[in-house]
Amino acid sequence: MITQQPFGRTGHMSTRIIFGGAALWVATQDEADRVLDLILEYGINHIDTAPSYGDSELRIGPWLDQHRKQFFLATKTLERGYQGARDEIQRSLERLHTDQIDLLQLHYLVKPEEWEVAMGPGGALEAAIEAREQGLIRFIGVTGHDVPIARMHMRSLERFDFDSVLLPYSYTLMQNPEYAADFEALLAVCQERNVAVQTIKGVTRRPWGDQPKTHQTWYQPLTDQTAIDHAVHWILSRPGIFLNTAGDMTVLPKILDAAARFQAAPTEAVMQADLANQEMSPLFV
C-alpha cells in the first residue's frame, strides 16, 4: 500500500508517489491506458503532466473520462507571457477532457530573465491567477531543476504565495553541499507555510553522456530493482515530500513496486555502496 499525506494546504490527501505524465510522451492510447490502469491498481490518486510532455495530455484525457473524480490533476505552462499562458491553460483543459485543473504550475522557472517576465506585469502568473479566479484551476505551483532551483523557488515564494513547488531530490544530488543547503532552506519555508514539495529525478543513475539512449528519460535511470528500492525508500523516509515517477513506462512499475514495499530508509552504507556499484553521478553540477 502506498501511503498518503496532505498535499500542502490544498485539502487533498495525495499518495506520496505522484504519476509523472512524461512517461506517456510517445505512448499509443492502448499503452497509455495500460499504464494508467496500473497506477489505479496501486492506488495512485495524483497525476502530473504538461503540454511539453509530447502526447501525454492527449493520452491522459480520454482515460480520465471514466476516472476524473479519482485524481488530483496537475499540468504546467512553459509560457512566460499572459496571453501565451492563458491560451495554453485553455488547450490543456481541452486536451485533458476536464473543465477544471487542480494544479497549474509555472514550468521550469529557473532563468532569472524568464522569471522576471513570468512573475511581472503581463506575465504567466497573472494568467494563472485569473484562471483561478474563473474556476478553471484551483491551485498554482512552480517547478524547475538545475542546481540553482531551490534558491529560485525561495525567490518565487517571496513574490507569490504558491501552493506547491517541484524540484530534484536524490541521495546523489544531496551530496552537493550547495544544493543540499538550499534544499533544506526551501523545505523549512515550505513546511512553515504548508506548501507542498514534489521531488523529481529520484531514480537518476547518471547523464547519458555518449551512451545510446535506451529509455525515454533524458538521463540514464536506475533499472536494477534493488537500487531503485534504495533510491525510492531513501526519498520516502523524508516526511512531508512527494516523489514524482520517472518519465519512462518501463521504469514506472519498478518505482511503484518499491514504493508499495516501503518500510524504512536504507543505511548510509547501503546508499554509498549504490553510488559506487551503480556508477552513479550527479545529473546537475
Please state, in angstroms and rounded to a whole number, the distance separating the CA atoms of residues 84 and 187.
Answer: 31
Grid coordinates standing for 170?
536524490
Annotated catalytic residue, options 42, 53, 171, 179: 53
User: Do residues 142 and 186 lie in contact, with contact meaning Cβ atoms separated by under 8 Å?
Assistant: no
Q: Got the DSSP string for 143-202?
A: E--STTHHHHHHHHHHHS--SEEEEE--TTGGGSHHHHHHHHHHHHHHHHHT-EEEEE-T
Residues 6+ apart with CB under 8 A from 264: 233, 237
With CA atoms as reference, report the closest residue to 163 among 195, 193, 189.
Answer: 195
b/e per residue, 7-30, with b = 16+ CB within 10 A? bbebebebbbbbbbbbbbbebeee
Please state, in angstroms and rounded to a whole number, the distance separating the CA atoms of residues 247 and 250.
Answer: 9
42 is catalytic: no
Mapped onto helix, strand or coil, the DSSP state of residue 129 is helix
Q: Is 134 exposed, middle or buried (0-12, 13-18, 19+ CB in 10 A)?
A: exposed
Catalytic residues: 53
